[in-house]
Amino acid sequence: MIKPLYNFIRKTQWGGKSFVMLCVSVFSGIIVALQYDAANPFFSSISLDLIVPFGDFWRSLHFYSSQLFFFLSVAHFSVIAVDMRHEIPFSKWLYLCLSLPVILLLLFTGYILRGDATGQAAGYIAENIARSIPIAGELVNNFLFAVSEVGMRKVLANHLAGLVFLWLFLSWDHIRRYKVEWRKNGIELIVLFLFCSFVMAPMEIHGPGASLISGPWFFLGMQEMLRTVRPLVAGVLFPLTLVVATLCLYRHRWRRLAGLYILCWLVGYAVLTVVAVSRV
């Protein structure tokens, strides 16, 4: 049973599916951005759901297609890592490894732009983590976030352009081989459109009864770690070890040790996430 499942995972076109979800995310994101006001992020997000015709559908489509793009990209990356041979130049492997954190930053800035309780918490924590970096902390914060100083302007610019161009630079040599195969992904798209027609993207208002303001789902483990560990360690060094471990997968003699570390990292982070969820 394990072998057929493994063969199915290997043969599934994760790259093509993730590229289709990227196209949907970009198209729906443009529609959402046309209605977005960086000076009033929460009000414009709520107005999109309540006032703009079909605004709730487009916001949900952008949200869920972006999430699927991340999950499918991780699946595609995992298959490449398992089946990788040394015909892949190390420079290309380096770019692919760095592209995943950029996708996470794209998702993360999207949460901040909502301006709701989750977005406010994410922006506040992100600024403190960025400032904890020695020497370059203020520079990194001013480049990526600076929510306290200029509101959502830099976050919006990075979400729409800066991080997008960075991801394209890292991934272009890999994604240019893919074509948008809408027919092969027709069922998935129909299910996605129907799902987004009935299920709205989350929007959280922090009320007096809430015991904890939590960040995005992929940030909860780090948020839990920040309760006891310094921001530099929890928010910078700890995630950096995962990136280094994925780079080490390129060398055959390091693959087993790197794979073991990645597995332990993911299990540990999952436990931290469960603990963080239990606090909400």
Query: In angstroms, rounded to a whole number, what is the distance separating the alpha carbons of residues 226 and 234?
Result: 6
Query: In angstroms, rounded to a whole number, what is the distance separating the alpha carbons of residues 178 and 118?
Result: 35
Residue 186's pLDDT is what? Answer: 87
> Is residue 209 over pLDDT 50?
no
Domains in the chain: how many in total?
2
Q: Which of 5, 39, 7 lies closest to 151, judged by CA? A: 39
Query: Is there a single domain that holds both residue 41 and residue 121?
Result: yes
Query: Is there a single domain that holds both residue 194 and residue 222?
Result: no
Amino acid at 219: F
Query: Is there a single domain that holds both residue 21 and residue 145?
Result: yes
Give the range of the structural domain holding residue 275, as residue numbers without chain letter: 216-280
Residue 54, phi-psi category: left (phi > 0), alpha (psi -120 to 50), beta (remainder): left
What does the pLDDT look like over 100-150, one tens digit per residue? 999 999 999 999 999 888 888 888 889 999 999 999 999 999 999 988 888
The answer to whether residues 170 and 105 touch, using CB atoms and an 8 Å cutoff, is: no
Model pTM score: 0.90
Residue 24 lies in a domain: yes
Rounded to whole angstroms, what are the CA distances from 53 to 47, 66, 174, 241? 10, 21, 37, 45
What does the pLDDT look like over 163-181, one tens digit per residue? 999 999 999 888 887 777 7
Identify each DSSP E strand in the chain by its residue range.
none
Q: What CATH number is given to the structural domain containing 105? A: 1.20.810.10
